[in-house]
């Protein structure tokens, strides 16, 4: 018997193992490529130590950009790992959302070296923090999609499942604040990023602690009422 051509296909569910493997590979390559711009200064063998130190001083923006991006990439990798820890399986939509996310991960080496070379220009700082903002937005969008699609499971770890979205929000707002600041004061954008991130994490901890206290109080009230 031939199938009815008007019958709708059931939603396709995919295992998450391969998407996690691809993501780990892209992160590993992107984070490794960050160090390739840190090249040994091209100086004659008979140069003085003062000249070597001077060249290293000139490379400080590249060392700083490398360290900052490597740490941020590690944070995004951890957040991505946590996201898929709570996801039971993937769908075609989530798969393509992750592909776009990885596209911006692979852009990190370029945006990092662009910022290092032109740190005092708005366009370089906007490009860098724009890259980071898009990563945070796409990561948050994957979580929201997973919740709405019903493929998220956080019952086994309620505490981390409730705290994770607010931490991503803190990172996203810090990147966005730095991006906006870079439009007018590129030199201040990194300080704004650090300040906004610290403030967001403090607020996140206070908010989660307050929520936990309210839940504990409700549980005690319910126990006493019964």
How confident is the chain (226 residues) per 10-residue block, as mean pLDDT?
A: 51 74 95 87 77 82 93 95 88 92 96 93 95 96 91 69 79 94 92 89 73 57 57
User: Which structure tokens are listed for 115?
Assistant: 């910022």
**What DSSP letter does each residue of 150-193 carry, written as one string?**
T-B--GGGHHHHHHHHHHHHHHHHHHHHHHHHHHH-GGGHHHHH
- What pLDDT is attached to residue 25? 95
- What pLDDT is attached to residue 101? 97
- What pLDDT is attached to residue 218? 58
- What pLDDT is attached to residue 80? 94
- What pLDDT is attached to residue 161? 61
Handedness of CA 197, 71, 101, 37 (dihedral sign): positive
């Amino acid at each position: 018997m031939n199938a009815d051509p008007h019958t709708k296909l059931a939603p396709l569910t995919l295992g998450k193992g391969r998407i996690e493997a691809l993501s780990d590979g892209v992160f590993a390559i992107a984070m490794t490529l960050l160090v390739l711009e840190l090249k040994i200064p091209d100086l004659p063998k008979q140069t003085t130590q003062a000249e070597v130190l001077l060249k290293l001083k000139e490379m400080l923006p590249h060392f700083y950009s490398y360290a900052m991006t490597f740490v941020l990439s590690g944070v995004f990798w951890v957040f991505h790992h946590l996201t898929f820890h709570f996801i039971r399986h993937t769908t075609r939509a989530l798969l393509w959302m992750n592909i776009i996310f990885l596209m911006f991960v692979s852009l990190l080496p370029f945006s990092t070296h662009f910022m290092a070379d032109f740190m005092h220009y708005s366009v370089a700082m906007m490009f860098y923090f724009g890259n980071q903002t898009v990563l945070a937005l796409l990561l948050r969008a994957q979580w929201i999609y997973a919740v709405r699609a019903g493929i998220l499971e956080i019952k086994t770890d309620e505490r981390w499942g409730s705290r994770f979205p607010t931490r991503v929000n803190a990172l996203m707002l810090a990147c966005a604040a730095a991006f906006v600041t870079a439009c007018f004061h590129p030199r201040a954008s990194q300080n704004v990023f650090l300040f906004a991130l610290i403030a967001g994490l403090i607020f996140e901890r206070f908010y989660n602690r307050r929520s936990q206290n309210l839940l504990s109080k409700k549980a005690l009230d319910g126990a006493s009422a019964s």
